[in-house]
Amino acid sequence: MPRTKGSKNKPKTVIADFATQIAEKQSAKETLSAEIASITANIDTLKADLKEKKTALKSAEKEVAKLEAKKAKADAKAAEEAKKAEAESVVKKLLASGVSADEILEKLK
């Protein structure tokens, strides 16, 4: 096998234009910085929107709970009125049929 001529430690000549490489890297860096700033701004606006939506949701839940409580109270009152009306009608029927007041009280208990 023939030997190579010349020194193996000889510096390799690299023809590179560092100025263009630096300019490319700087432009890429600026582009990435602009994208990061844009994404950060979007995240901030979305966080603000999320906060607003959460507060609106909480207030809506409170209103629903209040309305449900009012509905339950109204239903209970209506049921009480219905029982009262039914008891009155039973008493009237019994009085009309000639039952005494003491017998009516026993039947209502």
Q: Assess whether pLDDT exceeds 70 at residue 68.
A: yes
Which whole number is the average pLDDT over 12-22? 77
Q: Which residue has the tokens 């109204």?
A: 74
Does the pTM of the predicted model rise above 0.75? no
The residues, any chain, with a CB within 8 Å of residue 107's CB and separated by 6 or more, are 90, 94, 99
Q: Assess whether pLDDT exceeds 70 at residue 39.
A: yes
- 25 burial (CB, 10 Å; 0-12 / 13-18 / 19+) is exposed
Q: Assess whether pLDDT exceeds 70 at residue 1.
A: no
pLDDT tier at 19, thresholds 50, 70, 90: confident
Q: Assess whether pLDDT exceeds 90 at residue 76.
A: yes
Residue-level pLDDT at 11: 67
Q: Return the higher-pLDDT residue of 85 and 105.
A: 85
Which whole number is the average pLDDT over 39-45? 97
The residues, any chain, with a CB within 8 Å of residue 104's CB and separated by 6 or more, are 91, 94, 95
